[in-house]
Chain A
């Protein structure tokens, strides 16, 4: 359970270009099933997702994850929570060019310093699960859209997080690939992962597996 209590996020506070991305939001979200944050661009769904995923701290208000207060943690500790609790799939996948698929998948585990052999086996296991084992030693920039997307999912799963966060995951995919992605996400939900997605793609928020849709507008619940 994630609880948001009067959460606001403001950029450039006190300056002429001040922007309120999220205003005074109160919300409770299940950490199981698939939850979609829906809204037009600029509605604050990405800012909200960033705060939920411990990527940024609210300007005011409190966020609790399973009863633990997250919103007042310094960056150092937010990062610790982030890398153990959340896995991220970004809009443009954000794989690092020049590194192999395998290295990209292992990256989130580096700061945790696991045993190198074990980490490799785990990463290769994930790649096998997502039919990427032949691509393991290819550079990430040579991948097709679908492969890049599956690599991003493997990377999100390497630290075995409880919750997967996906920011506009279908924005750069055609309908065919979007459906495939949603099937994969459905499978993850079946394995017990919580899924948080921000999207304004009807393909996503109208999907049968989605358990809850939260609609945002101008930083508030619509």
Chain B
């Protein structure tokens, strides 16, 4: 394992986050067992006060996770000089089988945390806290996710061996290679960009319907999750090519570098935020018939969806602009 400050920081951060979540999960179990809002007993008062602590812990884990996601990518970028064949973060993540799962787990943890906090925010609006049980049960599912993340990350770093020859984005994302990454990259840019545009239209339609009529929130969230996947695919197989102006450069991380005006942040930040908001809105829809929450969800859900649509629009706008301004012509004149 390369002993660099960033790797120490990442391991330390993930370990702390899992510990905090395990602590929160422990409190969650107590709440699940003893919660009784009608009681004025000191135990119930204590539990109610614990809910503040749990929410704070989850919020911090979530925030820390967001930053560690960034650091993880930066760090992979920096390590790329130490691996023969790696020219950017992709090559380093590829150096052993734990790289991509770690990244995936970090992203899942981000969405899980965001959705949970949104749900918690809604529940806190109703005096009878109708979602207490489902909410803390969900928390029990998030804790193992954090444990899996810290383990995968530790395995990834331990197994990093600088003598290894790894493949860089050029070969990983080249259509001739094998595996999922190659298939994604091998997709015809026209197909992936068309899929992106179509999913965007579907998203806009369902989102607007939900925003105006308050119906179809679940569908909107599902479509948003789907669009997230399509968007990542389209970035690798299409948008990236236009940014780099190179028909075989597919790397999703180089977009974050200064050489490309940090345009990756402009794409990823709205995309991640929009997806998180949509997932939160969809999750709360599940409980839209709870009597004390009906009115609140009917206002909040569509509002979140509206915000999510705005962020998606930012993402789509930037992606379109990147394709149009590029000197690379893959699809012939548009």
Contact = CB atoms under 8 A, between A and B. Distances in A.
From A58, A74, A75, name the one whose CB has the most chain B CB atoms within 10 angstroms. A74
B127 A59 contact: no
A211 interface: no
Contacts of B42: 12-13, 59
Nearest to B127: A77
B49 interface: yes
Contacts of B45: 57, 75
Interface string A73-103: 1111100000000000000000000000000
Contact of B37 (A58, A59, A74): A74
B284 to A, nearest CB: 18
B38 interface: yes
Contacts of B127: 73-74, 77
B37 A72 contact: yes
Nearest to B42: A13
B219 to A, nearest CB: 32
Interface residues of B, number: 11
B40 A59 contact: yes
A155 to B, nearest CB: 25
A15 B45 CA distance: 16
B176 interface: no
Contacts of A59: 40-42
Interface in B2-47: 37-38, 40-42, 45
A60 interface: yes
Contacts of A75: 45, 48-49
Contacts of B38: 72
A13 B127 CA distance: 25
B40 A74 contact: no
B38 to A, nearest CB: 6
B49 A71 contact: no
Interface string B40-78: 111001001100000000000000000000000000000
B53 to A, nearest CB: 13
Contacts of B49: 75
Interface in A123-166: none
Contacts of B48: 74-75
A138 B225 CA distance: 57
B121 to A, nearest CB: 12
A13 B46 CA distance: 13
B326 interface: no
Contacts of B272: none
A76 B124 contact: yes
A60 B37 contact: no
B316 interface: no
B129 interface: yes
A58 B124 contact: no
B12 to A, nearest CB: 34
A60 B39 CA distance: 7
B145 to A, nearest CB: 28
Interface string B87-128: 000000000000000000000000000000000000010010
A218 to B, nearest CB: 20
A81 B40 CA distance: 17
Contacts of A74: 37, 48, 127, 129
Interface in B185-205: none
Interface of A: 12-13, 57-60, 71-77
Closest 5 CB pairs of A and B: A77-B127, A57-B40, A59-B40, A58-B40, A73-B127
8 contacts: A12-B42, A13-B42, A57-B40, A58-B40, A72-B37, A72-B40, A74-B48, A77-B127
Given A59-B41, A72-B37, A74-B129, 8 more contacts: A57-B40, A57-B45, A59-B40, A60-B40, A72-B38, A75-B48, A75-B49, A77-B127
